[in-house]
Amino acid sequence: MSLVVVGSVAFDSIQTPDGALENALGGSAVHFSMAASYFGGVQLVGVVGEDFPDSHRQLMSSRGICLDGLEVVTGGETFRWSGKYFDDMDHRETLSVDLNVFENFKPDLPASYRDTGFLFLGNGAPLTQASVLDQVSSAPFTVVDTMDLWIDIARSDLEALLTRVDALVLNDEESQQLSGEKNVIIAGRKIREMGPRCVIIKRGQHGAFISHEDGEVALPALPLANVVDPTGAGDSFAGGLMGCLMKSERTDLAALKVAVAWGTVTASFCCQGFGVTGFDNVSAGDLRDRFETYRNMLELDPVEIPQII
């Protein structure tokens, strides 16, 4: 099974209460791919300028990420974003955005990508996201991300897109904005009525909520004593999630729960370093160990229950 991601490739400049990083490799497609690469090959579609260094390509290639779909715009500059985190590390402020070559990004899938089984559409204009669906020859399990901006200015495009995808990933506030509902169960159901049979609501340090036709599930995040930089945590979560789905070749609710757990694990590594450095020297065995920690955390001693009540 193959996995294609379409999204941004960027230079991020990040300030946190404890440090700062300038012009680091970032972007939704990058964070997604780094996390998903532990599970198998990932095919990336994105755009960069001539300023994108070979070292970044080499890092991604060494992880098994296929860059055949990474377009380079002659004379162009790569997308730049800078932001600053507040004390709680849960909230941030965008300091500057230079879309550069990303502004006119028209994703063009290489022929070898078009028969994919799994597709992730990173945050972007819904019309651009829809243009990718027009190019695939297979009927991939498609997960789409979005943000408040598109819910605000392109709601009808987004609603049209939602009728064509399997799952939507978004955060708590975005789910409330899109559905008009504060209650997470009702919000998830209303969004599912728009099309996707699954909605995954990201709740940051509070974990994730799955709204699915077969049931609703809340899972916690892995508590972390040291959050260095949460940038890309949502995309790393999606990468681990879809890497797991690709590997298990299942998309039922039980498989989605396991996938959310793996996404929780990859997101936790992402948070432990600036940019993509949270994955430096992290092996598949490290991910497995943390998955076991997570599963043990959720396990309730079975002996106790019948004696209790």
* Phi and psi, residue 25, nearest 5°: -60, 125
Site for a copy of itself in 192-231 (CB under 8 A): 203, 205-207, 209, 216-225, 227
Closest approach, Cβ 301 to a copy of itself, in A, equals: 5
Which C-beta is closer to a copy of itself: that of 84 or that of 257? 257
Closest approach, Cβ 72 to a copy of itself, in A, equals: 32
Encoded one letter per residue, x for contact with a copy of itself by CB under 8 A and - for no contact, window 259-278 reads --xx----------------
Q: Strand 208-212 relative to strand 198-202: parallel, antiparallel, unpaired?
A: antiparallel
Which C-beta is closer to a copy of itself: that of 54 or that of 301? 301
Encoded one letter per residue, x for contact with a copy of itself by CB under 8 A and - for no contact, window 40-59 reads --------------------
* Binding-site member from 112, 153, 183, 213 for a copy of itself (CB under 8 A): 183
* Binding-site member from 257, 272, 273, 274 for a copy of itself (CB under 8 A): 257
- Applying CB under 8 A, the span of 118-126, 127-135, 162-170, 258-266 interacting with a copy of itself comes to 258-266
Q: Does 298 bind a copy of itself (CB under 8 A)?
A: yes
Residue-by-residue DSSP string for 86-121: -TTSS-EEEEEEE-GGGTT------GGGTT-SEEEE
Closest approach, Cβ 288 to a copy of itself, in A, equals: 6
Which C-beta is closer to a copy of itself: that of 57 or that of 203? 203
Closest approach, Cβ 233 to a copy of itself, in A, equals: 15
Cα 10 to Cα 52, 54, 181: the distances in Å are: 9, 14, 33
Supply 254's token pair: 């039980």
Q: Does 299 bind a copy of itself (CB under 8 A)?
A: yes
Number of residues that bind a copy of itself (CB under 8 A): 52
Site for a copy of itself, rule CB under 8 A: 38-39, 87-89, 182-186, 203, 205-207, 209, 216-225, 227, 243-244, 247-248, 250, 254-255, 257-258, 261-262, 284, 287-288, 291, 295, 297-301, 304-305, 307-309
